[in-house]
Amino acid sequence: MPHREVRPARVVGLGGGIGASRLWRALVEAEPSLALTVVVNTADDLWAYGLRVSPDIDTTLYSLSDRHDLQRGWGVRDESWRTMHALRGLGEEVWFNLGDVDLATHLLRTDLLRGGSALSEVTRRLATAMGVQSTVLPMSDHVVTTRLTTAEHGHVSYVEFLVRLAAVPQVVTVHYEGLEHAVPAPGVLEAIARADLVVLAPSNPVASLDPILGVHGVRAAVRDSLAHVVGVSPIVLGVPIADAGEARRAASRAALLRAVGGSADPLGVASRYADICHRFVLDTADASFAPAIRALGLEVVLARTLLHTGVAPEELLAALSLRRAPTGRAARARAGSASLRRADPRLGSRGSW
């Protein structure tokens, strides 16, 4: 019998921020040959001190290049802050900190963008320079900004709400400025169409996933893809939060979910993905939510998901694998597509990693 070469699994990750970057790093460490494409939220991008900053792209690049600060969860390891101290000395209000090494990324990005390069081109250049083997794509080359209306401070950007206001104000409305005109960056739809597995990262569902899925054609591409689609809950209610940064991000998730009419729990997250998702990974500490999530038509897999707490990633990575078939409404809707995929010998084994 002739030997058939099995290609690496094609995985597309959607998301942004710290939770997503931890998962992408765990994936590539577990399987270096994995063909990973990450589609990153850019609705948090902002101008700071005259520089264009892409927080979620940078967190992704630093994590995949093993430069990120594990303790802080963002930025570069062994960072210094002399420039920010100098700005304060000049009377500037500094609420958004950029490290001295981190500044080099923003200086180059700003220069290239002003020179006419698209954000996707700039991101590709930065990824290559940092030695990132995975493909990192912005969700769009168009500018999109998440704007919030708050009860106490009026209209603010999401980044200002999270960082300057510490996610304290009540959020009344959420609006994605520019999203109606945004089209996917080059390669985004193609990657989704060719994927074996699409992972909805444990990111803020309203601030990170909704902008990506709201870019024209992206949600439909995920829904119509032959890929197995797995969501990971970013919310774990059954484990106490000990870190101030994690507490702030948790408060942000809750505030935004409530503002869009959802519940600030794993069921509220799963409900937002039920039309495109096959499987939902729920932390074992929140197992009580499993029956309600299964009622949405999703397969529920329990795993310890909080990688930053020292949990070994193998359990979570196994929950993402394709060794078990999907069940429920999503499985029935995809039955025809799944049979086509199984019949295509070019695709090889998708559960080997």
More reliable by pLDDT, 196 or 306 = 196
Over residues 151-174, the pLDDT tens digits come to 999 999 999 999 999 999 999 999
Say yes or no to pLDDT of 332 above 50. Answer: no
- Take residue 225 and report the two structure tokens written for it: 């893809």
Q: In sequence order, what are the residues at sequence separation of 6 or more whose Cβ sits closer than 8 angstroms to the Cβ of residue 168?
A: 251
Q: Which amino acid is at 337?
A: S
* DSSP-based three-state secondary structure for 18: helix
Q: How confident is the model at residue 31 (pLDDT cuts 50, 70, 90)?
A: confident
Q: What is the mean pLDDT of residues 232-243?
A: 92
Q: How confident is the model at residue 36 (pLDDT cuts 50, 70, 90)?
A: very high
* DSSP-based three-state secondary structure for 168: coil
- Take residue 340 and report the two structure tokens written for it: 């086509």
Say yes or no to pLDDT of 341 above 70. Answer: no
Q: How confident is the model at residue 139 (pLDDT cuts 50, 70, 90)?
A: very high
Q: What is the mean pLDDT of residues 272-297?
A: 97
Q: How many CB atoms lie within 10 A of CB 22?
A: 23
CATH architecture of 10-320: 3-Layer(aba) Sandwich (3.40)
CB 139 within 8 A of CB 39: yes
Half-sphere CA count of 61, side-chain side, radius 13 A = 25
CB 217 within 8 A of CB 183: yes
Q: d(Cα 160, Cα 144) in Å, to the nearest integer? A: 15
CB burial of 298-323 (b: ≥16 within 10 Å; e: otherwise) equals bbbbebbbbbeeeeebeebbebbbbe
- Take residue 322 and report the two structure tokens written for it: 């394709």
Q: How confident is the model at residue 316 (pLDDT cuts 50, 70, 90)?
A: confident
Task: Give the helix ranges, DSSP H, for 178-286.
Answer: 188-194, 210-214, 218-224, 244-259, 266-273
Over residues 176-208, the pLDDT tens digits come to 999 999 999 999 999 999 999 999 999 999 999
CB 271 within 8 A of CB 225: no
Q: Which amino acid is at 273?
A: Y
Q: What pLDDT is attached to residue 345?
A: 29
Q: How confident is the model at residue 343 (pLDDT cuts 50, 70, 90)?
A: very low
200 to 269, 289, 343: CA distances (angstroms)? 11, 19, 26
Q: What is the mean pLDDT of residues 43-53?
A: 98
Map out the domains of the chain as residue ranges. Answer: 10-320
Q: What pLDDT is attached to residue 349?
A: 30
Instruction: Name 332's bridge partners.
Output: none
Q: What pLDDT is attached to residue 46?
A: 98
Q: How confident is the model at residue 330 (pLDDT cuts 50, 70, 90)?
A: very low
CB burial of 264-282 (b: ≥16 within 10 Å; e: otherwise) equals bbbbbbbbbbbebbbbbbb
Say yes or no to pLDDT of 326 above 50. Answer: no
Task: Give the helix ranges, DSSP H, for 305-352.
Answer: 314-320, 328-343
Taking the model in full, what pTM does it have?
0.89
Q: What is the mean pLDDT of residues 263-290?
A: 97
Say yes or no to pLDDT of 324 above 90. Answer: no
Q: Which of 302, 264, 270 is nearest to 283 (CA)?
A: 302
Say yes or no to pLDDT of 80 above 80. Answer: yes
Q: Which amino acid is at 194?
A: R
| Residue 330, φ and ψ in degrees, nearest 5 | -60, -40
Q: What pLDDT is attached to residue 1?
A: 52
More reliable by pLDDT, 145 or 344 = 145
Q: What is the mean pLDDT of residues 212-241?
A: 96
